[in-house]
Structure 1
Amino acid sequence: MNPITLSASAARHLNRLSADAGHPILLRVAVEGGGCSGFQYQLDLVEAPEVGDTVVAYDGAQALIDEVSAPLLAGSIIDYVEELVGAQFKILNPQAKSSCGCGVSFSI
């Protein structure tokens, strides 16, 4: 399976959140059924991994992927982008054949 990676930008943002909070903040990335294209990403900030999570680390920051979502995210880059309309974590998934305009929903 192709590795899931955390970008430098995402790591910097997670490290900044952790410093502000005074304890580690981890990004949980999951794929759920639903959305306008069949699957949707669920992103949450958490303090600890759960049993079975895959840990994706870069420069001290960590993202967590559950074992069901991992195959659907294989080869993905977890990024953090700052644009005119706002800043957000973004999943660059090479398996996604199409996605909706919001970028949260996709199909394989």
Structure 2
Amino acid sequence: MTLPPKVTDRAFDRLSEIGAADQGKALRIAVEGGGCSGFQYNIVLDDVTPDDLVLEGSGEKVVVDSVSLPFLTNAVIDFTEELIGARFVIENPNATASCGCGTSFSI
């Protein structure tokens, strides 16, 4: 069954901390060709467009464009704080391989 990506409370909380909605922005998760494994994630604060799937929580928005959406079926968008730094991460069950940087994957 095809399900849209899920966004964790921790990711929405981080968007609140950085004031994304206050700036009129949403967190855009896009999949692009490239990277060391074939595809890579592009994660940026951006404007919402009519083509976007909008995921909302805690007054914040995460958006995915229609081209990227099939690559993110059943994925989980999270925020993590580790020794190497804090970042948004994507747990993607569609990825058959990924690289150490965590932003590149293959299907």
Q: TM-score, normalised by structure 2?
A: 0.92
SS of residue matched to 1:18: coil
Moved over 3 A (4+): 21-25
How far apart are the structure 2 equivalents of 1:67 and 1:84?
A: 34
Q: Could you list the per-position Cα deviations for residues 54-107 of structure 1 after superposition, in whole angstroms to 9, with x for gaps in the alignment? A: 001122221010000000001011100000110000011010111000010000
Structure 2: 5+ residue stretches without partners: none
Counting only pairs closer than 5 Å after superposition, residues 49-88 of structure 1 correspond to structure 2 as: 49-88=48-87
Residue 29 of structure 1 aligns with which residue?
29
User: Percent same amino acid at aligned positions?
Assistant: 46
Asked whether the equivalents of residues 17 and 25 of structure 1 are also in contact (C-alpha less than 8 Å), the reply is no
Structure 1: 5+ residue stretches without partners: none
Give the aligned length.
Answer: 106
Residue type of the partner of 1:84? L
User: Which shifted more, 90-99 or 54-63?
Assistant: 54-63
Residue 12 of structure 2 aligns with which residue?
11
SS of residue matched to 2:81: strand
How far apart are the structure 2 equivalents of 1:17 and 1:25?
A: 11
How far apart are the structure 2 equivalents of 1:88 and 1:103?
A: 10
Asked whether the equivalents of residues 4 and 69 of structure 2 are also in contact (C-alpha less than 8 Å), the reply is no
How far apart are the structure 2 equivalents of 1:38 and 1:54?
A: 24
How far apart are the structure 2 equivalents of 1:87 and 1:75?
A: 23
